[in-house]
């Protein structure tokens, strides 16, 4: 009986084990089948996404007049190319001699320093090709990161495809090539940071948590490097709100305890900021140093010409009209992206129907928050503007926050597609259908009220989007027989629609309307011969038979000098262009594609030809030099650029002290005009071609000179105004800013040998002079004063004195001396050490996380080391417990 009972019990136990094993096998088979299906769907979606990105990039590569956009041609490409060329030569690009009579590079916001894509791409490719490769890299990064984030939030592949397509085809391809270059790059890294933070919140091994946090910190560092100030503040708001939302309001996938989740959020958030600051120290510390010396030292633009756009903030309807328009328009480049009405309708549908799913409340909330901060008046804006250190930056350009908001509508369009495919929830009630029609009518009213009527295409596309959303509920015989397939068909039709509008319309405009010209400004990213010639000529390194070759020969034969170009900047006849700001009539950055401006070698031509000029385009100009040029011109300019006016070119001592040896005047100006005649009367002509006339400034001071009469410049720049008026001779007198303590100087004895200074060596970050004087004096150097420059007289370090308001002065005693100047900012040295150390730590964390990941099973539960221990236990006769064993089942 006992044996029989034992047999029965054993049979039951064996049956239970077999049943459990069969159930486990069924679950495993179902899971395998689901994964195979999901992977297939992902491959299809990613394949379609890759095709869309490829087509979009191909269009941008062929129809590439977008390279002539103002910021790209005159700011980003020249500075990025300079960083790339110096890195390719194995040099640290700390100082740039080509613009503003010399300017910092490391620490200059937006210069490309420490922005990894720029530092990896521009040393390898020519400038124009490198910029296209830069766009390609951001399109790939943006597409991959956005798709991964959408899938992470639970969207199915076709919905994730919808979201990532809207983001890449709109924000990346449209934004990068239309005025929002820096914001586009920042938005790609912001998506990466959102994804990395979210992965870190659910990562269980410490190595994985730190690894994802380090990646989020790297992404934040890149945002800071490409768009400091406003962009970084907005990114931190997005990331902070993301942590709060995921840990407090949408915590189903994370730790069960609210306290644990908050602790995790603090660790992830604090770690992200820590890694971001440490990794970016080599750029952030010098940037703080440079900005402190610039015209935007306190982040307040209100005292600058065109520096504060708060009064031009739009109303609600106009802001919405920007995003609904979906067409190429110069004003729309100020919005985050011309989404078009279909995208905005789908975004509203996704926000309403998803409710608390797929992080829809977060993205809808960030859209509303950003829109509220864009408006001229709102309670949130009132609070935001009173936040120390933030309000003044935001007032500089309130609508700039919309340059990052594209992430929200893009994700919500995918959410709308997801709800369309979700069983019963895909059905619209009559009230919801009526609401969609009302939304369309509201859009039409917004168009009309905001005076941005675009024609009927956006309206028809919006109506078509509503029709596709309602397609599964239309009672057509054919549709009723295809009930299972209609929602999927609707989803793919919506993807096709958002590709059509505005993307294909944008591409069509590039083909059929290759250039839209407003006062010499290229708006559309097409391709036409005049703009193509201007863009390609801008970055020629050699231009035989032209003024460029003449100046390069003079530089090789006679040593370094500067030049100033003139194409009518500041002359009243240019008021017809509509530029009415104080001191601003026709900046060369605005007229960058005109042959006359190309001929005077300004903008990107200066850097490409390895020449040096007095002007340039960069908002972070050194304050003392900006004041110097304003005094020289007798007028202020828009804070972004610094051109030389005719009032300085027909004879100015301040221009002479900058070692401006040549003046280039456009031949497209009427030679009978008073400004052209004044310049021609003051200087002899030495060269002319079809574009430009070159005059020699015979009164230029040279690279350096010695004075023996030193006076106080005063806090208001009294001395430099005397020099500008010609009331004192700068060869004999210098005005210094030393707090009232003047350097010791003496008059040379009668009959003594004259002073002499000769330049022995000249490089961007160092220069060496041989100086001889019979009495103590001050050697004035025609280089811009900036903190970080050190002087060594016969090897002994001496202080550099700010002289003649913006130049450098070095006290020397009687006798023969070797004077060496070096750019050695302490902030850079400390920053390089911090960045290098943290980069090593970050790589170590990633290696640690990779090792831990490889030790784990595909299921992520048992490490290979644990398996080895089990094998040893079995060999020693121990009875290890494994999942699925009878013991486990009984328990």
732 backbone dihedrals φ, ψ, rounded to 5°? -110, -25
Query: What is the number of other CB atoms lying within 10 angstroms of the CB of residue 721?
Result: 16
Contact present, 780 and 838 (Cβ < 8 Å): no
Contact present, 285 and 832 (Cβ < 8 Å): no
Buried b (16+ CB within 10 A) or exposed e, 86-125: bbeeeebbbbbbbbbbbbbbbbbbbbbbbbebbbebbbee
Place of tokens 């799913």: 357
233 backbone dihedrals φ, ψ, rounded to 5°? -60, -45
Q: Yes or no: is domain 704-823 CATH 2.40.50?
A: no
DSSP 642-675: EPPPHHHHTS-HHHHHTTEEEEEEETTS-TTSHH
The pLDDT value recorded for residue 396 is 78
Q: Is the pLDDT of residue 882 over 50?
A: no
Contact present, 295 and 623 (Cβ < 8 Å): yes
Comparing 135-144, 513-522, 693-702, 731-740, which segment has the lowest mean pLDDT? Answer: 513-522
The pLDDT value recorded for residue 549 is 95
Q: Is the pLDDT of residue 15 over 80?
A: no
The pLDDT value recorded for residue 339 is 67
The helix/strand/coil state of 397 is coil
pLDDT band at 862 (very low <50, low <70, confident <90, very high): very low
Q: Which structure tokens are listed for 363?
A: 């993205």
**ω into 502 cis (within 30 of 0):** yes
Q: What is the pLDDT of residues 740-761, one digit of tens each?
A: 789 999 999 888 899 999 999 9
The pLDDT value recorded for residue 865 is 42
The pLDDT value recorded for residue 255 is 65
* DSSP 8-state class, residue 504: I
The pLDDT value recorded for residue 22 is 56
Geometric angle at alpha carbon 13, from 10 and 17, rounded to 5°: 135
CA dihedral sign of residues 23, 28, 30, 31: positive
* DSSP 8-state class, residue 305: B
DSSP 229-286: THHHHHHHHHHHHHHHIIIIIS-TTS-SSHHHHHHHHHHHHHHHHHHHHHHTHHHHHH
The fraction of the chain above a pLDDT of 70, given in percent, is 79
Q: Is the pLDDT of residue 886 over 50?
A: no
The helix/strand/coil state of 347 is helix
Across the range 759-782, mean pLDDT stands at: 95
The pLDDT value recorded for residue 368 is 87
CA distances from residue 277 to 196, 223, 264, 294 in whole angstroms, order as listed = 17, 11, 20, 22
pLDDT band at 444 (very low <50, low <70, confident <90, very high): low
Across the range 158-174, mean pLDDT stands at: 91
Please, what is the average pLDDT of the chain?
Answer: 83
Q: What is the pLDDT of residues 227-277, one digit of tens each?
A: 998 899 999 999 999 999 988 887 666 667 777 778 888 889 999 999 999
Q: Tell how far CA 703 is from the center of its chain.
A: 36
In terms of Cα–Cα distance, which of 180, 148, 152, 153 is closest to 164? 148
DSSP 408-437: HHHHHHHHHHHHHTSGGGGPPPHHHHHHHH
Q: What is the pLDDT of residues 94-121, one digit of tens each?
A: 999 999 999 999 988 889 999 999 999 9
The pLDDT value recorded for residue 876 is 45
Residue 51's contacts (CB-CB under 8 Å, 6 or more residues apart) are none
Rg over alpha carbons for the chain, rounded to the nearest Å, is 33
SS (H, E, C) 160-226: HHHHHHHHHHHHHHHHHCCCCHHHHHHHHHHHHHHHHHHHHHHCCCHHHHHHHHHHHHHHHHHHHHH
Place of tokens 């992404």: 219
The pLDDT value recorded for residue 336 is 35
pLDDT band at 345 (very low <50, low <70, confident <90, very high): confident
* Alpha helices, DSSP H, located in 305-359: 316-325, 341-354
Contact present, 162 and 347 (Cβ < 8 Å): no
Q: What is the pLDDT of residues 289-333, one digit of tens each?
A: 999 999 988 777 878 887 777 666 666 666 666 665 554 443 443
Query: β-strand 796-798 against 756-763: which pairing, if any?
Result: unpaired
Q: Where are the domains of the chain?
A: 22-518, 540-696, 704-823, 855-891
In terms of Cα–Cα distance, which of 555, 632, 342 is closest to 464? 342
Largest CA distance in the chain: 136
Best-predicted range by mean pLDDT (34-48, 243-257, 617-631): 617-631
Determine whether 545 is exposed, middle or buried from the number of CB atoms within 10 Å of its CB (0-12, 13-18, 19+): exposed
CA distances from residue 435 to 21, 430, 440, 454 in whole angstroms, order as listed = 53, 9, 9, 23
* Alpha helices, DSSP H, located in 427-483: 430-449, 457-470, 477-481
Q: Is the pLDDT of residue 736 over 70?
A: yes
pTM of the model: 0.87
């Amino acid at each position: 009986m006992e044996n029989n009972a034992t047999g029965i019990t054993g049979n039951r136990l064996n049956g239970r084990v077999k049943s459990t094993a069969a159930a486990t096998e069924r679950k495993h088979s179902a899971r395998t089948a689901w994964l195979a299906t999901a992977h297939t769907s992902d491959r299809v979606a990613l394949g379609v996404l890759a095709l869309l990105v490829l087509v979009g990039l191909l269009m941008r590569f062929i129809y590439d007049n977008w390279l002539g956009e103002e910021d790209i041609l005159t700011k980003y490409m020249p500075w990025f190319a300079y960083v790339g060329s110096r890195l390719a030569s194995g040099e640290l690009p700390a100082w740039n001699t080509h613009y503003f009579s010399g300017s910092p590079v490391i620490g200059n916001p937006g210069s490309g320093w420490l922005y990894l894509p720029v530092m990896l791409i521009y040393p390898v490719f020519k400038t124009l090709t490198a910029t296209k490769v830069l766009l390609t890299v951001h399109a790939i990064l943006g597409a991959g990161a956005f798709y991964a984030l959408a899938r992470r939030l639970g969207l199915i592949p076709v919905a994730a495809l919808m979201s990532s397509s809207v983001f890449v085809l709109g924000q990346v391809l449209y934004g990068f090539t239309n005025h929002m270059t820096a914001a586009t790059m920042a938005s790609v890294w912001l998506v990466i940071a959102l994804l990395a933070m979210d992965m870190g919140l659910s990562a269980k091994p410490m190595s994985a948590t730190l690894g994802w946090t380090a990646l989020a910190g790297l992404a934040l560092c890149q945002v800071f490097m490409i768009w400091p100030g406003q962009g970084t503040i907005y990114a931190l708001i997005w990331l902070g709100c993301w942590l709060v939302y995921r840990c407090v309001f949408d915590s189903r996938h994370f730790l069960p305890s609210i306290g644990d989740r908050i602790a995790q959020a603090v660790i992830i958030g604090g770690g992200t900021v820590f890694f971001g600051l440490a990794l970016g120290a080599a750029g952030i510390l010098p940037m703080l140093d440079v900005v402190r010396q610039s015209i935007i030292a306190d982040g307040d633009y209100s005292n600058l010409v065109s520096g504060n756009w708060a009064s031009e903030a739009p109303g609600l309807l106009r802001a919405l009209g920007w995003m609904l328009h979906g067409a190429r328009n110069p004003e729309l480049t100020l919005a985050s992206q011309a989404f078009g009405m279909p995208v905005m309708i789908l975004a509203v549908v996704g926000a309403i129907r998803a409710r608390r799913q797929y992080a829809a409340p977060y993205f809808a909330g960030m859209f509303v928050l950003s829109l509220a901060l864009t408006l001229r008046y709102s309670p949130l804006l009132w609070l935001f503007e009173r936040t120390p250190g933030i309000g003044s930056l935001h007032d500089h350009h309130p609508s700039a926050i919309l340059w990052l908001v594209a992430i929200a509508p893009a994700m919500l369009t995918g959410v709308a597609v997801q709800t369309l495919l979700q069983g019963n929830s895909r059905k619209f009630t009559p009230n919801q259908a009526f609401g969609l029609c009302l939304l369309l009518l509201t859009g039409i009213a917004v168009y009309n009220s905001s005076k941005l009527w675009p024609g009927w295409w956006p309206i028809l596309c919006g109506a078509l989007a509503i029709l596709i959303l309602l397609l599964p509920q239309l009672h057509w015989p054919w549709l009723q027989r295809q009930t299972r397939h209609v929602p999927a068909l609707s989803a793919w039709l919506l993807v096709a629609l958002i590709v059509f509008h505005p993307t294909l319309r944008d591409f069509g405009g590039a083909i059929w309307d290759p250039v839209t010209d407003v006062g010499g400004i290229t708006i559309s990213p097409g391709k036409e011969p005049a703009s193509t010639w201007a863009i390609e000529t801008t970055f020629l390194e050699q231009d035989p038979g032209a003024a460029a070759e003449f100046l390069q020969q003079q530089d090789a034969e006679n040593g370094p000098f500067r030049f100033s170009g003139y194409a009518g900047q500041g002359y009243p006849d240019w008021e017809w262009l509509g530029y009415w700001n104080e001191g601003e009539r026709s900046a060369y950055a605005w007229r960058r594609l005109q042959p006359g401006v190309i001929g005077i070698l300004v903008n990107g031509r200066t850097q490409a030809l390895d020449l040096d000029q007095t002007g340039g385009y960069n908002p972070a100009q050194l304050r003392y030099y900006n004041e110097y040029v304003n005094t020289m011109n007798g007028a202020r300019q828009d804070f972004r650029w610094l051109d030389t006016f005719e009032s300085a070119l027909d004879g100015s001592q301040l221009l002479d002290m900058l070692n401006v040896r040549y003046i280039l005047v456009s031949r497209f100006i009427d030679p009978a005009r008073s400004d052209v005649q004044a310049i021609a009367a003051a200087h002899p002509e030495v060269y002319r071609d079809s574009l430009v006339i070159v005059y020699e400034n015979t009164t230029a001071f040279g690279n350096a000179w010695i004075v023996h009469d030193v006076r106080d410049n005063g806090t208001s720049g009294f001395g430099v105004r005397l020099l500008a008026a010609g009331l004192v001779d700068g060869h004999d007198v210098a005005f210094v800013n030393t707090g009232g303590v003047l350097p010791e100087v003496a008059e040379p004895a009668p009959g003594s040998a004259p002073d002499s200074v000769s330049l022995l060596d000249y490089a961007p970050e160092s220069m060496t002079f041989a100086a001889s004087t019979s009495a103590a004096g001050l050697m004035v150097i025609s280089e811009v004063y900036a903190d970080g420059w050190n002087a060594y007289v016969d090897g002994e370090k001496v202080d550099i004195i700010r002289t003649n308001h913006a130049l450098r002065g070095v006290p020397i005693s009687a006798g023969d001396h070797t004077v060496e100047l070096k750019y050695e900012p302490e902030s850079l040295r400390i920053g390089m050490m911090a960045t290098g150390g943290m980069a090593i730590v970050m790589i170590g964390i990633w290696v640690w996380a990779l090792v831990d990941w490889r030790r784990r099973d595909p299921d992520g539960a048992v490490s290979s080391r644990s398996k080895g221990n089990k094998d040893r236990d079995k060999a020693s006769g121990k009875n290890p417990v494994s999942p699925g064993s009878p013991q486990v089942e009984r328990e």
